[in-house]
Chain A
């Protein structure tokens, strides 16, 4: 039986290499702003963006040699925090093909892995779709 996709106001399709640019930061800022305005949001991570929610990333990034005592949350921790802060209004999906292809097999429990063929159902469940980045 096909999974039912909860309707959301916006679907953000996040693609591309996470650390190539500030794209992930911008996307997370936008997701947070939408949620704080009471909107429901789903994120579909595709390509290397599927690496963002892996459990092995832990809570914090590795130590910064230029700021030894600084603590920087991992992307997995940021996503986890938003999912827990906005239950029922933020959904995070990952493309199973892209994730498997990159060996990313261990994600946050709240992340729903979806087949590429299911993407259309996510688009249909969104009032508006915004594609951020390219594969």
Chain B
């Protein structure tokens, strides 16, 4: 994950988007749309799914995330959030990786990273 996401280090900012809203939140998928647009523009984008956002890691939950992944965006899912909801054993999107908060901390403080929490 780090290697792939860090491939363009020094050339363009890496974008780290932290999504805490799930599929049933009373907000639209604006952040996910922005993520797709950034990925399509060629920026390295990593989305970290935390809290209810971890529910989006399940296959078929969000068409915008399908487009995001198709555009080259990477997904990481917070293990604690999965366990807290009892869904850590259920299948996730094939390319999503399960991560922990220490990895997120490392990404936030990485070089050329622009991080947004939603």
- Of the residues A21, A128, A130, contact of B51 by C-beta under 8 Å: A21
List the 10 closest pairs (A to B, CB-CB), nearest first.
A33-B105, A33-B101, A33-B102, A34-B105, A29-B101, A22-B51, A132-B117, A130-B115, A37-B105, A130-B117
Nearest A residue to B110 via CB reads A128
Nearest B residue to A34 via CB reads B105
Residue among A30, A39, A133 having the largest count of chain B Cβ atoms under 10 Å: A30
Q: With both chains docked as a complex, state the minimum distance between the C-beta of A6 and any C-beta of chain B, in angstroms.
A: 17
Proximity bits, A1-42, B CB within 8 Å = 1, else 0? 000000001100000000001110010011011101101000
Is A131's beta carbon under 8 Å from chain B? Answer: yes
Is B80's beta carbon under 8 Å from chain A? Answer: yes
Give chain A's interface secondary structure class: mixed
Interface size on A, residues (CB 8 A): 20
Cα(A68)–Cα(B19), bound, Å: 35
**CB proximity to B under 8 Å, residues A97-115:** none
Check if A37 sits within 8 Å of B106, measured CB to CB.
yes
Check if A34 sits within 8 Å of B109, measured CB to CB.
yes
Is B104's beta carbon under 8 Å from chain A? Answer: yes
Cα(A79)–Cα(B91), bound, Å: 36
With a cutoff of 8 Å between Cβ atoms, the chain B residues found around residue A32 in the complex are 101
Proximity bits, B51-87, A CB within 8 Å = 1, else 0? 1100000000000000000000000000011001000
Proximity bits, A115-133, B CB within 8 Å = 1, else 0? 0000000000001101111
Check if A30 sits within 8 Å of B101, measured CB to CB.
yes
With a cutoff of 8 Å between Cβ atoms, the chain B residues found around residue A127 in the complex are 109
Is B108's beta carbon under 8 Å from chain A? Answer: yes
Is B97's beta carbon under 8 Å from chain A? Answer: no
